A and B are shown apart, each in its own frame.
Chain A
Amino acid sequence: MNISQVIKPNLVLYDLVANTKKEVINKLADLYQKTGVIQEKEAYIISVMKREEEGTTGIGDGIAIPHGQSETVKESAVVIAKLKEPVEWHSLDDLPVKYVFLLAIPDEGDQEHLKILSQLAGLLMDDDVRIQLEKSKSKVDLINIFKKGVDQL
């Protein structure tokens, strides 16, 4: 199993339009519900917001990695979204967020899958990956960053 099996093209969005952090999470959770990753959107959003309250998931350089762990999540997944306009996220570096990686984590997860999500999180700390994110021009570019990225791991 590798990262490209975790990143599903139908869970990658380019130029998502949203004005607030809440709206971003709400829209992405919609996508999860439509694709059957989660069953109850409300419960999932509550778990994501609870995590945000414990401390920001904006990790700097315009990247945020919010995540919710809940019984309503049927399989672990990640949705990647590049926002059309950055939104305020109270990030560690106080910059607004442009790239959102929303993780869905089941209560008892398939370990293999979770490991890969962890690798993905680790990749986001890599300067090269951050530069490439900034350069990406399309959905395909976004997907390719992580295809390449994981080969280096």
Chain B
Amino acid sequence: MKRKLIAVTACATGVAHTYMAEKALIKAAKELGVLIKVETQGATGIGNRLTSKDVSIGEAVIFATDTKVRDAERFDGKKILQIGVSEPIKNGKGVIEKALKVADE
């Protein structure tokens, strides 16, 4: 069975980095054979909103955010990796690997 992660991306302006981080996470996860669902919290609203089912499936949640995560209470009790929104753009694979480690702790 493949490893599964979920993530939320958000930046201050909500137009550029949110979506670049999303693509970077998906790209890195794909290359590492990990499944990931990414919710974008941008200026135009929440994209690909994670359902409570998604939340329960994800082994850990990556918050790649420079702003407050909206509706963060959905993730109460999950293992969380909090990083800046640029981090996945810089080193996507590193972030995925770190998140898997968090999930194993």
Contacts and interface: CB of A to CB of B under 8 A. Distances in A.
Contacts of A127: 27
Interface of B: 12-13, 15-20, 22-24, 27, 40, 42-45, 66, 84, 86, 89-90
Contacts of B40: 118
Given A55-B66, A67-B13, A105-B43, A124 B90 contact: no
Contacts of A65: 16-17, 20
A92 B44 contact: no
Given A54-B66, A69-B13, A124 B43 contact: no
B7 to A, nearest CB: 14
7 contacts: A55-B66, A67-B15, A118-B15, A118-B40, A118-B44, A121-B16, A121-B20
Chief secondary structure at chain B's binding surface: mixed
A47 to B, nearest CB: 9
A65 B45 CA distance: 21
A114 B43 CA distance: 8
Interface of A: 51, 54-57, 59-60, 65, 67, 69, 92-93, 103, 105, 109, 111, 114-115, 117-119, 121-127
A103 B16 contact: yes
A123 B16 CA distance: 10
A44 to B, nearest CB: 13
Contacts of B24: 125
Contact of A124 (B18, B20, B86): B20
For the complex of A and B, the 6 pairs showing the least CB-CB separation, nearest first, are A125-B23, A92-B90, A121-B16, A122-B19, A118-B19, A122-B23
